Amino acid sequence: MRLPTPPNPLKRGEAQSLTWLKAMGPGSVSSVLKVVLDVAYVLLWLITGILLLLVIAAIFIPLDNVNITVSGDAGGKQLPLTRTLLLFGLGAATAYFGGFMLILRSLRRIIRTLTMGDPFQPDNVRRLRQIGLTLAVVTGGVWVAQGFVAKRLAPGVMDPQGLGELLTPIFSVLIVFVLAEVFREGARLRRESELTI
């Protein structure tokens, strides 16, 4: 006669502890992440809007005898604030925050599909590619802008970024493009399984 084995309390406890940690669907971690991304998106939208208004206002602001101090590791340098310099700085900041606003917009839409429990949609492949492309443009823009400022506006005060500092952003962009291909394959497999049913 064989006695039934009692249930393992450790396994039951593990199962219960994982039920509250759902990754997809309503009430999951992705739902919380969606709320956080929504708040961050609204804040970035406001910051970008304010910066855009400042760019427009900078066209009309008189800049007589206004100086700025650019400081770095080697010390500081005082420069006259010209309209070109002001527009360049505000335009670069607007483009930077606007780029990350576009990334968050696509990411919010991807997370929305996770909360619905259906992440392998063909639109998510396009969204991930947009995120990768925007991240590459923002990273390249920051690198070029810092090089321009270091060589033209504050030579000897600021050092331009080296190519080694681009390794992490390039790696991040490649990861996003690889994830896009994973989602494309998942969408293809899902479509095939729907056709076979």
Reported as a pLDDT band with limits 50, 70 and 90, residue 42 is very high
Is the pLDDT assigned to residue 76 strictly greater than 80? Answer: no
How far apart are alpha carbons 184 and 124 in whole angstroms?
A: 8
pLDDT digits (tens, 9 = 90+) for 43-69: 999 999 999 999 999 888 887 777 777
Chain position carrying tokens 């429990």 = 117
Q: How many CB atoms lie within 10 A of CB 64?
A: 6
> Residue 67: its pLDDT value, please?
73
